[in-house]
Amino acid sequence: MDTKKSNTGWSDQELEASVDGYLKMLKLVSLGQSLNKKAEHEVLREGALSTRSLASVDYRMRNISAVFEILNQTPIAGYTAAKNVGSGVVSRISRMLAQRGIVASQDNAPTFDDELLERRAAKLQSKPIKTKPEGIAAPQQVSTTSTSYVRDPEVRAWVRQQAAGICEGCSLRAPFNLDNGQPFLEVHHVKHLAQKGSDRITNAVALCPNCHQRCHRSSDRDEFTAGLYSKISRLIQE
């Protein structure tokens, strides 16, 4: 084999062997065992990586560390993430990691932390959400200094995306835009979470602050809420 090709044109089989080798080492490290990289590389070179140099195997491991970082996962400390890894290699390695259960740390993971929820929702909202989120039928109650509920950032993001900057209560434009350019609308649970309402798109609306406060505090809040149910077809009475 042409030696100049020793670091290009890796076959799926070679890449998979590298990924498996990496995950094996990751496991050793997580179990607190010391890592002999060279010995591990030699094992790989006795198998699928027989045409690759030690340096080339090491570089491939550093590619995998780079993909770990992209996925917000902690790589093996001994392999500094390689810079400027080609997108083709990144997507092949990502796919192989996903097949082995290593996926991007979840922006859509439910959380009770308001700030985190908002950050995740804002991030999700910046790209079209293609499928209606499942949401959480019975949000788990969490005791902090104040009572809060675990909510799904994707539900929040989807509902705001549907509203597209128009309050679903009064049909007026959101009163202002945030620094990130997104229109300011608050997501309200029509049947309140405290009343055991669900965190689903069938129970959530995007409202301007006036309409939101009206739902909670106004003397006509029951009539106003009834109006939301008749106006917004996706809502389901709980």
Q: Which two tokens stand for residue 108?
A: 């859509």
Site string for Zn ion, 170-189 (x = CB under 5 A): x-----------------x-
Q: Residue 116 or 170: which CB sits closer to Zn ion?
A: 170
Choose, by CB under 5 A, the member of 17, 167, 174, 193 that binds Zn ion. 167
Phi-psi bin for 168: left (phi > 0), alpha (psi -120 to 50), beta? alpha
- The answer to whether 208 contacts Zn ion (rule: CB under 5 A) is yes
Beta bridge pairs of residue 143: 147
Which stretch, 8-16, 36-44, 93-101, 202-210, contacts Zn ion (CB under 5 A)? Answer: 202-210
Which stretch, 59-67, 91-99, 147-155, 200-208, contacts Zn ion (CB under 5 A)? Answer: 200-208
Which stretch, 10-18, 139-147, 210-218, 229-237, contacts Zn ion (CB under 5 A)? Answer: 210-218
Q: Are 19 and 97 in contact (CB under 8 A)?
A: yes
In whole angstroms, the minimum distance from the beta carbon of 205 to Zn ion comes to 9
Torsions phi, psi of 12, nearest 5? -55, -40
Choose, by CB under 5 A, the member of 25, 93, 205, 211 that binds Zn ion. 211
Helix (H, G, I), strand (E, B) or coil at 224: helix
Q: Which two tokens stand for residue 124?
A: 């999700």
- Residue 169: CB atoms within 10 A of its CB come to 24
Across the chain, the runs of DSSP E, i.e. the strands, are: 141-143, 147-149, 186-189, 204-207
Q: Residue 38 or 231: which CB sits closer to Zn ion?
A: 231
Residues that bind Zn ion (CB under 5 A): 167, 169-170, 188, 208, 211
